[in-house]
Amino acid sequence: MEWRDEGILLSVRRHGETSAIIEVFTPERGRHAGVVRGGASRRVAPVLQPGAQLDLAWRARLEDHIGTFTVEPRRSRAAAAMGDRLSLAGLNAVTALLVFCLPEREAHPRLYGRTEQLLDLLGQNEVWPLAYLKWEMTLLEDLGFGLDLSTCAVLGARANDLSYISPRTGRAVSRAGAGDWADRLLPLPACLLGAGPAGDAEVAAALRVTGHFLRHHLAPALGERPLPVARQRFLERFERGGDA
């Protein structure tokens, strides 16, 4: 068995004296693991940095074997990620969530494209947090837990005053539709609707909303495992002001 593709490096761990086991996210093969011979060497190890864009060739005797990768660097994102603490925390959150959420060897081409676009924005802290928020929404959608913000869940019609979101269903609720139940609903920041300017405080509020659905809907479907701590560290870093 053999295939070739490009991919984003998600994780690396040493394997034996000289090799490494890597996990990558590819457009056609999804999350996929394999051994890189010599992956711990001085020549190859600098290439194997999480977030790196790689050309990949995978080979195994049988399809269900772990197999081996040969890799060629396409572009590194290490410099952008190491440039400031917010970028590094963001990169760690993205790679950790993908390892946590994605089934092995299941293609998610839309999510892959959004992930590549997001990582190419690393270091651009004026736009990256909002782009990351939109990426989390895509992650939820691709895995079957997308938010429905098109109409009011109570009144059943498109409304101009969508202000809340049901923590149980992920559907939007208008101010008129919420009524006495408003205090049981999550706030719906305008940036989740793509409306108005998205300041840092609003993006942080929106990330708390997507975090609710990651933590209470997606994670239980994966076996009650807790979300990666890297995601919370990124949110805390962002709320403190990036490099603070």
Determine the pLDDT at residue 31: 97
Determine the pLDDT at residue 244: 52
- pTM, to two decimals: 0.94
- Rounded Cα distance, 2 and 58, in Å: 5
Determine the pLDDT at residue 234: 96
- Rounded Cα distance, 21 and 68, in Å: 9
Determine the pLDDT at residue 98: 98
Which residues are 104's β-sheet partners?
Answer: 31
Phi–psi pair at 155, nearest 5 degrees = -90, -15
- Rounded Cα distance, 85 and 215, in Å: 24
- Rounded Cα distance, 131 and 70, in Å: 31
Determine the pLDDT at residue 79: 85
- The answer to whether the beta carbons of residues 5 and 28 sit under 8 Å apart is yes
Q: What angle do CA 35, 36, 41 make, to 5 degrees?
A: 135
Determine the pLDDT at residue 83: 79
Residue 171's Cβ-count burial label (10 Å; 0-12, 13-18, 19+) is middle
Tell me the one-letter amino acid at 174.
Answer: S
Domains with residue ranges and CATH for the chain: 2-76 (2.40.50.140), 82-147+188-240 (no CATH)
Structure tokens at 27: 């457009």
- Rounded Cα distance, 160 and 228, in Å: 36
Q: Which letter, b or e, does each residue of 202-221 get, where b requires 16 or more Cβ atoms within 10 Å of its Cβ? A: bbbbbbebbeebbeebbbee
Helices (H) and strands (E) in the chain, counts: 8, 8
Determine the pLDDT at residue 237: 94
Q: Which residue ranges in the chain fall short of pLDDT 50?
A: none
Determine the pLDDT at residue 21: 97
- Beta-carbon contacts of 43 under 8 Å, excluding residues fewer than 6 positions away, are none
Determine the pLDDT at residue 197: 73
- The answer to whether the beta carbons of residues 109 and 28 sit under 8 Å apart is yes
